Amino acid sequence: MVRPFEGGLLMEQLRYANEVRSFADVPLEQGEVDASELDLAVKLVDQASSDAFQATDYKDDVHERMLELIQQKVDGEDIVTVAQEEPQTQIIDLMAALKASLAEEGSERKPAKAASGQNKKAPARKRAAN
């Protein structure tokens, strides 16, 4: 979730309490924002926003497993790990996925139609003489 905070924008993700740092430690830079991107960001924030989030309500299972493995090693036990297969990844168009997600939620606004004067076919290319 992105929200205004102390003169900047703050992006919140699910983080464990030990991963959170002060907003004063984050460098702020100036940048340009496209109007359509800003509109999409506002819609996403409105959909995903909630009033309260407590990082302490969640636990870091990976961190806990690592601490258990470290303790086993300290105790002199042998640690055996099994290699896991890499998950199959799929590259997607993020903007298209976000727009589709917004459309599924029953957004009040519909995407704009193409201007009436635009030609839908690409112009024919001339061949160069050899």
Question: How far is 50 from 29, CA to CA, in rounded Å?
Answer: 27
DSSP 69: H
Position 28 scores a pLDDT of 81
Higher pLDDT, 55 or 72: 72
Residue 122: pLDDT band by 50, 70, 90 thresholds? Answer: very low
Helices 35-48 and 94-104: angle between axes, nearest 10 degrees: 50
Higher pLDDT, 113 or 74: 74
At 5-45, the pLDDT tens digits run: 888 888 777 677 777 778 888 888 888 888 999 899 888 88
Q: Residue holding tokens 């464990």?
A: 16
On whether the pTM is more than 0.75, the answer is: no
Position 23 scores a pLDDT of 80
The whole-number average pLDDT for the span 92-120 is: 67
Q: Phi, psi (5° rounding) for residue 3?
A: -145, 155
